[in-house]
Structure 1
Amino acid sequence: MLELLAVILFFSYIFYLRNYADLRTISEKEEAAFSNGIELFLNNQFDEAYQYFDSKVKTKPKSSIAYLYRGLSQKGKNNRPEAFYDIKTAVSLDDDVYKAHLELAKMYLEEQDVESALPAFSKAISKAQETSPEPYHWRGKAHQEMNMLAEAQADFDSERRILAQISNEKNRSSTVKTPFFDKKLIVSSAMVLFTSALVVAVIKNAESIHFPYFVAVVSAICLGFVEPHKGWLLALLQCFLIVTGYFLLTDPPQNTAVRELENFCLYGSLVLTFVASFLGGFMKRALHMQ
């Protein structure tokens, strides 16, 4: 029963991290996953970028980001009708991607269709939620095209305000260091109390070395998932608590064979705790990169 519970807890935790703990939107995840193709586009390798995103569109026909960057690649190749189609499709697939609204508005502006460009720029501003100065910059240009100078000045003022905010945040983040013993690490340390008690309980009730080793590995992998960069500290704490709990809170077995079995389980679990915590951290970082 304990083995089944440990397996369920471990895989439930991985499923949670993979599907629910990541608060990014689908398009934000896709943008991170398509970083190689985006880099091709940013380097003006439009043919290669088009081939990359054309293949993504075929495999993921509902991907707003794939259509957006295929359209931008087409624009770089001066295939404007195809670019218009792809960028409009990107907007229709995910109305919350401000970059898609922005690029569509820029194409309207380049075609001198300012009346269509302005609402698209406003939509980009709304979806960007004050995180990017670029939509304000381009809407200001559109207002200038229509000789709406007061509105243009207001947009350029907003652009400067957001740029100043971004600069201040960068300066603040470069000067303020995250403390090593943060709240997350303290909460994770509390979890180690449970996992250590579980390992000790399994060692005392084990009929072979396999189940204690399995529980030690699973618990340490979870620690690595929780703290991929500080898992070694949690592993060290778990080893300390396992040894302390075993020798101070349990009675030594009188039977020599049982004592030897528990020793094998105890010291083997300590070694596996360190190995598995690094494995858990590696798996967490690998999932985060996908």
Structure 2
Amino acid sequence: MEWLLLLFFMPFVLTMMFFNWLEKKFFSFRDREKLGEGEILLEGKKYFEAQLFFSEKLKYFPKSSKAYFLRGKCQFHLENYYSALFDFEQSISFDNTIGELYVWKGKTLYKLEEFDKAFLEFDKADWYYRSENAVALRWRGMARYCVGQVENAIYDFTRAVELGDEDAAHILRTKFEYIKKK
């Protein structure tokens, strides 16, 4: 009896799994196809137009992590930090495996002078990059310096310099004057 029941429900379960997989692939393909124009606007520093473009796309693809991420970058450049933070959090809720996303969220929190939270985001980014991204290390060092962890900040800057980051080298040479001005 159990085998008969299993044989009856197994095709249904397999069909549902297949359509779920197909839907994920279709949405990611559609995102790549439809967001290219907005990325060109973003690269051309037309932030307001790009922000409008991504807002329009989010009406049709409300679960697009990439669209939220790119709109967040536009909001950041337009200095709408709270809107950028919202977009980055939405993007993380749909895909939490993008290291660059944590860097941008940390930058936003840093601009809002929430250094403890910014440090945590940069730390997550560093974890995803496996300590091989100089930008994440430099920003984490800046946040660490602002929360009073000077020795650890120096280590992060030194590691970033080893990876080729000239900005971190400048910060170390000027004895943190760059950070104090911000």
TM-score, with length taken from structure 1: 0.43
What does residue 66 of structure 2 align with?
A: 65
SS of match in other structure, 2:155: helix
- Contact 1:118-1:139 within 8 A present in 2 as well: yes
Matched, 1:89 2:90: yes
What does residue 162 of structure 1 align with?
A: 163
Cα 1:97/1:82, change in 2 over 3 Å: same
Cα 1:133/1:30, change in 2 over 3 Å: farther
Residue 33 of structure 1 deviates from its aligned partner by 6.3
Pairing 1:37-76 to 2, within 5 Å after superposition: 37-76=38-77
After superposing on structure 2, the runs of 4+ consecutive aligned residues of structure 1 that deviate more than 4 Å are 29-33
* Higher relative contact order structure (alpha carbons within 8 Å, sequence separation ≥ 6): 1
Matched, 1:118 2:116: no
- Contact 1:114-1:146 within 8 A present in 2 as well: yes
What does residue 236 of structure 1 align with?
A: none
What does residue 168 of structure 1 align with?
A: none
SS of match in other structure, 1:163: coil
Cα 1:108/1:154, change in 2 over 3 Å: same
Pairing 1:195-210 to 2, within 5 Å after superposition: none
- Contact 2:68-2:91 within 8 A present in 1 as well: yes
Matched, 1:80 2:113: no
Gaps (5+ residues) in structure 1?
A: 1-18, 20-25, 165-290
Amino acid at match of 1:138: W
**Counterpart-to-counterpart distance in 2, 1:46 and 1:37:** 9
Q: Deviations over 1:186-220 (max 9, x none)?
A: xxxxxxxxxxxxxxxxxxxxxxxxxxxxxxxxxxx
- Contact 1:37-1:53 within 8 A present in 2 as well: yes
Query: Identity of aligned pairs, percent?
Result: 24
Q: Deviations over 1:141-186 (max 9, x none)?
A: 111112322111111122123338xxxxxxxxxxxxxxxxxxxxxx
Amino acid at match of 2:57: K
SS of match in other structure, 2:45: coil
- Contact 1:130-1:162 within 8 A present in 2 as well: no
**Counterpart-to-counterpart distance in 2, 1:35 and 1:128:** 25
Aligned Cα root-mean-square deviation (Å): 2.6
Larger radius of gyration: 1
Cα 1:47/1:108, change in 2 over 3 Å: same
Pairing 1:2-17 to 2, within 5 Å after superposition: none
**Counterpart-to-counterpart distance in 2, 1:73 and 1:34:** 14
Matched, 1:105 2:102: no
Residue 128 of structure 1 deviates from its aligned partner by 2.3
Pairing 1:207-226 to 2, within 5 Å after superposition: none
Residue 64 of structure 1 deviates from its aligned partner by 1.1
Q: Deviations over 1:19-68 (max 9, x none)?
A: 9xxxxxx59x9568634322322322011111221122222211111001
Residue 131 of structure 1 deviates from its aligned partner by 4.8
Tell me the matched-pair count. 140
Gaps (5+ residues) in structure 2?
A: 1-21, 23-27, 166-182
What does residue 151 of structure 2 align with?
A: 150
What does residue 139 of structure 2 align with?
A: 138
